[in-house]
Each structure stands twice: as structure tokens, then as C-alpha cells.
């Protein structure tokens, strides 16, 4: 079931960056694309350009997602919406940032999958693409964000087992740093966000969309399970060591 076998797609986080490019690519291939995001003006602009169907919805709102898509024959689901609030430190993150990151990066994926997948099972056809991250595969300093993307990684692993025999494919895309609006939306310090985006030659939204389209366009019997990609100037691995300062107190003196 390559792209020619699919008719309809649902893309979350569609108003900018990776999601916007994926909508453009799918629409160019002749699919009817439902584009979901919170920024109405950007969605309307995207609809004018591509002919997609815009939905101004918060992906964390299960009732709104059900109302919009229950009964729709969705062949492709691209769970792209995500944020990285509290990225700098879990201990310094606000309650609001923790809740927003958990709901957007984990809850919304489960909601969208539960809305779109029953129809795929009934038709014995479909493809789910979840946007993971290097942060979900390898230990990094971003505890909160990494934990949410780690959950996405195991969601993909387990969902393939649950859907085995249904002909529904499940793909996880795991990019390193990508130059998008992610930093500006995730980091409270605008100077840090600018430095983050200029640290090295990062991936672009088009680079990641290329990976998504490759996975979608393989023959029906091929499931591209996980794609890792990063800029050539980025790598992960190694061991970090830092001395610990110990305070001497009653317990230490004993």
C-alpha cells in the first residue's frame, strides 16, 4: 500500500515546520489532507496553497478530535504535534510546562490513534506515522522532553504488536535537531532559542518530510519501523563525568 493506495490523511501540528511540509507533500500527491493545528490564520493560508481541509483544534482535546474525525476514512495519520517546554530542567519546570508537554507529546498521540485507527482496522488498510526524537532513544539532559519521546518510542513498538495482522503499518521518525519554530515555542529565553537554532547545520523540515514520504511510499508488505536521522555535524554517545560536592554533616561525621 504505497501512497497511490491511500486517499485521505490526517496531519497534526500542521501550521508550521515539519507538519506544514508534510501537508504540502501529501496534497501534491493527490490526497485529501486534514490539517490540524491551533493557529487558524496559518491553517487558512495552508489551505489556500494546498487545498487541504483545515481544522483549528487543540490536539489534546479528545472531544474535539472525535467530533471532527469520527466516521472519516483516514488512511494515513501523521502525529507530528509536539513541544519541549521545561526542556532546560525538570526541577525548574513549572507545573504548566510539565502538563503541557505531557499532554501534547503523549496524550494527543493516543487520542488521535484511537480516533483514526478503528476505521483503518475495519478497512484493513492504513499507516500511522508518529514523530519521535533522538531524545527518546538516547539519554540526554532534557529529562521531561526525553521521557515523553521515550514513551512515543515504546508506543510504536507495542502498537505494531497490537495491530499485527491488520495490514496497518506503524512508523516512528526520530530526528536530531531540526531548524523549525520548535525552539521558539519551547524555550522561554529567546536568546537561548536563537543560539539553539544556530549551533550547527541542522536538519530542515524538508529533510524530515523526505523520511516520512519514503516510509509512506514503500510497498504494502514493507513496514519502515524506525528512521533515525540527524545533521552530519551532530552525534550522540559518550560518557559524562562530573565530580560531586558533598556537604559534611552529622551523618558524614559518623
Name the helix (H) or strand (E) containing 144. Answer: helix 143-162
Mean pLDDT for the chain overall: 90
- φ, ψ of residue 110 in degrees (nearest 5): -60, -40
DSSP letter assigned to residue 136: G
> What does the pLDDT look like over 95-124, one tens digit per residue?
999 999 999 999 999 999 999 999 999 999
Alpha helix ranges (H) inside 163-203: 182-186, 190-197
Structure pTM? 0.90
Number of domains in the chain: 1
**Domain containing residue 221: CATH number:** 3.40.50.720
Rounded Cα gap, residues 160 and 166, in angstroms: 10
- Domain hosting 134: range is 3-253
Q: What order of strands is seen across the sheet that includes strand 32-37?
A: 53-56, 32-37, 8-12, 76-79, 126-131, 168-175, 226-229
Q: Give the dihedral sign, CA 121/127/132/134.
A: positive
pLDDT at 214: 98
Neighbours of 204 (CB within 10 A): 16
pLDDT at 64 over 90: yes
Q: Which residues are annotated as catalytic?
A: 145
Q: Whole-angstrom Cα distance, residue 207 to residue 229?
A: 9
Pairwise pLDDT comparison (85 vs 50), residue with the higher score: 50
Amino acid at each position: 500500500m504505497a501512497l497511490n493506495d491511500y486517499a485521505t490523511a490526517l496531519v497534526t501540528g500542521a501550521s508550521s515546520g515539519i507538519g506544514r511540509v508534510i501537508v504540502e507533500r501529501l496534497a501534491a500527491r493527490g490526497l485529501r489532507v486534514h490539517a490540524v493545528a491551533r493557529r487558524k490564520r496559518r491553517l487558512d493560508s495552508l489551505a489556500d496553497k494546498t487545498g487541504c481541509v483545515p481544522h483549528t483544534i487543540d490536539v489534546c482535546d479528545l472531544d474535539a478530535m472525535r467530533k471532527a474525525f469520527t466516521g472519516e476514512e483516514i488512511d494515513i495519520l501523521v502525529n507530528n504535534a509536539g513541544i519541549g517546554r521545561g526542556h532546560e530542567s525538570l526541577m525548574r519546570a513549572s507545573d504548566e510546562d510539565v502538563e503541557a508537554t505531557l499532554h501534547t507529546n503523549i496524550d494527543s498521540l493516543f487520542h488521535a490513534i484511537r480516533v483514526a485507527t478503528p476505521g483503518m482496522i475495519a478497512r484493513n488498510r492504513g499507516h500511522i506515522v508518529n514523530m519521535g526524537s533522538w531524545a527518546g532513544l538516547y539519554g540526554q539532559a532534557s529529562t521531561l522532553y526525553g521521557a515523553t519521546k521515550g514513551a512515543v518510542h515504546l508506543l510504536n513498538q507495542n502498537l505494531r504488536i497490537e495491530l499485527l495482522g491488520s495490514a496497518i503499518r506503524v512508523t516512528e521518525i526520530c530526528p536530531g535537531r531540526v531548524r523549525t519554530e520548535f525552539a521558539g515555542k519551547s524555550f522561554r529565553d529567546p536568546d537561548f532559542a536563537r543560539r539553539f537554532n544556530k549551533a550547527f547545520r541542522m536538519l530542515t523540515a524538508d529533510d524530515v518530510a523526505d523520511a516520512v514520504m519514503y516510509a509512506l511510499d514503500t510497498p504494502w508488505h514493507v513496514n519502515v519501523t524506525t528512521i533515525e536521522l540527524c545533521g552530519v555535524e551532530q552525534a550522540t554517545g559518550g560518557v559524562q563525568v562530573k565530580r560531586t560536592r558533598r556537604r559534611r554533616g552529622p551523618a558524614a561525621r559518623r
